[in-house]
Amino acid sequence: MNPSLNERHASKHEEWIWRESQPMWLLFALLLPIALGGLTLSWSGTGDRPLPVAAAAWICAAHLLALLLLGRLVTEVRSDRLVWHFGWLGWPRWQLRFEEIERVELTRNRALEGLGIRFTSSGRLYNAHGLSALRLKLRDGRQLRLGTQQGQRLLQALEPRLQRPPQRR
């Protein structure tokens, strides 16, 4: 089953309607070689002062923790709110109730805005991969962007939940 399709999924905690999981490939590409290199230097014993095994283990543990906390961006449209988090531990986690969202639109990030959690001139950016994003304009005036590789599907999952019945006069 591809979890990023418009499907309902029952979990023990809550039902989600749409879900996307984006690996942060750049983080993997940077952290894994550094960790493996440190272990290799430690075990090979090369050089005048080889890296102690304990130091190499701590470096690997720190890299593993960084990957667990930040290694992917998961975005879920649930029955009553939008939820997103980084990593496999589910922390940190953010959420917005649909009533808090005024408008959504597809947009593109600038390459210089980067990956991860960023503070930009147009609000907070949560991004794991690429330049595609969904801009959310909130009722309190704030804006934020969620990086996505499936912007159209995310938009299709969100828009019906944001439509309000006409107000009576």
- Structure tokens of 61? 């543990």
Q: State the average pLDDT over residues 163-169.
A: 59
Q: Residues 145, 126: contact at Cβ < 8 Å?
A: yes
Question: Which H or E run includes 64?
Answer: helix 53-70
Q: State the average pLDDT over residues 13-41.
A: 79
Domain ranges of the chain: 15-169
Kindly report the CATH class assigned to 15-169: mainly beta
Considering all CA atoms of the chain, what is the largest pairwise distance in Å, rounded to the nearest integer?
82
The count of other CB atoms within 10 Å of the CB of residue 49 is 5
| 39-77 pLDDT tens trace | 776 766 666 666 777 777 788 888 788 888 888 999 999
Residue 101 DSSP code:
E
